[in-house]
Amino acid sequence: MLHIAPEVVDMNKAVDDGAEGEGKLSRVRGEGIWSESGVYGQATLANASKGKLVANAMVESAVRGILAM
């Protein structure tokens, strides 16, 4: 979001979370990796340039998948 719509992001609310549990990410407490905040990772380290890298990689991956059809 910092890359796509930075005006809607409040980095003062960013938290690092999602370390509780083992296995797959889960929305259900006790099943896999649980995050009370909904954040999985270190959101406090986020910035627009990192977001741009992720967004570009996702688009490139989608294009490769479409072209492979």
Q: Is residue 51 part of a domain?
A: yes
What is the percent of the chain where pLDDT is above 90?
59
Using one digit for the tens of pLDDT, what is the confidence trace for 35-59? 778 788 889 999 999 999 999 999 9
pLDDT over threshold 90, residue 29? no
Question: How far is Cα 24 from Cα 6, in angstroms, rounded to an integer?
Answer: 29
**What is the rounded CA–CA span in Å between residue 58 and residue 30?**
30
**Distance between CA 29 and CA 36 in Å, rounded?**
8
Note whether residue 1 is domain-resident. no
Number of separate domains in the chain: 1
- The DSSP secondary-structure symbol of 20 reads B
pLDDT in the model for residue 18:
67
Query: Which residues neighbour 18 within 8 Å (Cβ) at sequence distance 6 or greater?
Result: 25, 33, 34, 35, 37, 39, 40, 41
Which residue range is the domain that position 18 belongs to? Answer: 6-67
Rounded to the nearest integer, the mean pLDDT of the chain is 87
